[in-house]
């Protein structure tokens, strides 16, 4: 596995933070050669930086996502990426429909890697307060650690 794409609705909160958390975790573990990116299923925020609350919450954990720019997933992503991870069921359904039958196996729900968690979806913190971004980061941390374990153990 060489390329991982995190996907949410607008690519300014959950998937942007997941990209940053994943880069930090892979670096912490000394895992090289994995390309990590993020995208949204909608076109609402193309070219925008992540939400200021996401940037601040990540910064407090020494993760810099300020330079990221939102983008919308495109058809080529389904060929380019080995693993496309949706933050919730709604985005998962959109991704599976867009992937087509032959690429659908690359698309998974992100928190499926964190089997011990009772929650399966990463809720969107956009309409809530700043503390929701910390809660989201907590979930992303757990999921990314499980994903990194999977990367390390998958030939």
Phi/psi of residue 146, nearest 5 degrees:
-65, -40
* The model scores a pTM over 0.85: yes
Mean pLDDT of 44-61: 97
Count of structural domains, the chain: 1
In degrees, rounded to 5, the angle at the alpha carbon of residue 119 between the alpha carbons of residues 117 and 125 is 125
CA gap 63, 96 in Å, rounded: 30
- Look up the CATH number of the domain holding residue 98: 3.40.50.2300
3-state secondary structure of 108: strand
Kindly report, residue by residue over 4-49, the tens digit of the pLDDT: 999 999 999 999 999 999 999 999 999 999 999 999 999 999 999 9
Q: How confident is the model at residue 7, as a pLDDT?
A: 98
Residue 16 near residue 36 (C-beta atoms within 8 A): no
CA gap 76, 59 in Å, rounded: 31
CA gap 48, 25 in Å, rounded: 24
**Which domain range does residue 141 map to?**
3-153
Catalytic positions, please? 8, 14, 124
pLDDT band at 126 (very low <50, low <70, confident <90, very high): very high
């Amino acid at each position: 596995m060489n390329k991982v794409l995190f996907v949410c609705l607008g690519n300014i909160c959950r998937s942007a933070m997941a990209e940053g958390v994943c880069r930090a975790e892979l670096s912490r573990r000394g895992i090289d050669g994995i390309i990590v990116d993020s995208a949204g299923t909608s076109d609402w925020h193309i070219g925008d930086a992540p939400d200021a609350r996401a940037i601040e919450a990540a910064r407090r954990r020494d993760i810099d996502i300020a330079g990221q720019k939102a983008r919308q997933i495109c058809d080529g992503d389904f060929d380019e990426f080995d693993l496309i991870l949706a933050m919730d069921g709604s985005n998962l359904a959109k991704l599976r429909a867009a992937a087509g039958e032959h690429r659908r196996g690359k698309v998974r729900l992100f928190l499926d890697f964190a089997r011990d968690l009772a929650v399966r979806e990463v809720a969107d913190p956009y309409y809530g307060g700043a503390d929701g971004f910390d809660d989201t980061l907590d979930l992303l941390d757990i999921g990314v650690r499980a994903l990194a374990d999977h990367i390390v153990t998958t030939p």
